[in-house]
Structure 1
Amino acid sequence: MSVKGIVKNKPLLSILSASLIFMMCTMLIGAINVYLFKDYFSNASALSLIGFVQTAAVFVAMPIAKPCVAKFGKKETASIGMLLAGGVYGLLYFMPNLSAIQFIIISAIGMFGFGFFNIVVWAFVTDVIDYHEYLTGLREDGTVYSIYSFARKVGQAIAGGIGGFAIAMVGYDATREAQTQQALDGIHALATLVPAVIYIVVFLILAFLYPLNKKRTIQLAEDLAERRNIKD
């Protein structure tokens, strides 16, 4: 695959951007939650519960995702899920006095929302491959998947140090028995406002930059089938 082909493949660039931003946010939340429950909520035992709830939320979304994709499309389903997630985490930012359990219960709705993106993200790549074939005339499944996988690994490497950097930026001091209110407020913002903004950014990428909606995807499949029949 040429660099020119990659640059022209707007769906590939869009889904790469959305996926990398989402993945970095997920790793940030995972790192910040340790401090959120230990220092902000003073309930470290609840940390294991939120991991279970996130897994459960994805499992709940799984049987719903398929009929939603069939009826509305991949882009539409994932976009609404990210909008829901962004709205829930934004709401949590304005509810600083919740208990740890109340926080987990409300955040489960947001996890349910971004679960749809997690479930269908690899299916996006299939559509991207179809678009690349339509654009260049070449079917390069392995190359597109390799680029996507490599980009995710690069993103994981970059995201590895984000949590520590972010927690230091808000004034967290590991030597203190009790953190300052400024640091606690910063931890809460990192766990709520930052994900809210990132999820909305992912929603905007999917809604306005990723061009393969349901109608376009169906038309793309028909165009490719017609082109292949002509070649045969």
Structure 2
Amino acid sequence: MMIGDSSNWNYVKAIKFLNESALIAARLGIYEVVNEILKAYIRSVSFTDELGHHMLSFAVLSRQEKVFNLVYQVCHPMVRDQLTMWKNNIGVTILHMAGVLAPSSEIPGAALQMQRELQWFKTVEDLFHPSLQRKHDFSGKTAREVFTETHDALVEKGEKLMKDTATSCSVVAALIITIVFTAAFTVPGGIDSQGKPIFFRELSFKSLPSLLP
């Protein structure tokens, strides 16, 4: 996608033609489109939708790591601070958004998904000064409280999966031990009607003195 040189764009033109595309690309994680738009008009990083969401907040909410890194790196430090301190119309910061469980995930398994969610939350949290990490939204919740509440079901699912896996492993281990134990104490070739090993007179059998009667 070639949008053109930055000299071709001003605020009025950019807000009209690039705003919607920039936000959609950020939400869907289309890195190439976001990159071209930012190169054409860097101030598009501050464009918002009707709810006040910008590219960085969409990247955080949708777990678009590449877009998040791109937007964060190209921003001027002052703009970066403004974006991280941003709140929407219900007092939600991008840290609160990082605390909300992702609507879908390509990561298989609740345990791995939970690990990924924790890593993502910590990445965003590290951008904030400790005093800002404790900010409340309009419902009185901190980002960590939002994370805990929205991930409860995932934690329970992960715990159940781990317990089921442990139980399955225990059953398999017990079966293996039983088979090995049985094989170790079974006379090779079996025994005859008189209770003597069938291969008793075989030289190879006599090399196993522990099995001789």
Quick check: TM above 0.5? Answer: no
> Scaled by the length of structure 1, what TM-score is found?
0.24
The structure with the largest alpha-carbon Rg is 2
> Scaled by the length of structure 2, what TM-score is found?
0.25
Structure scoring higher RCO (CA < 8 A, sep ≥ 6) equals: 1
Structure with bigger helix share is: 1
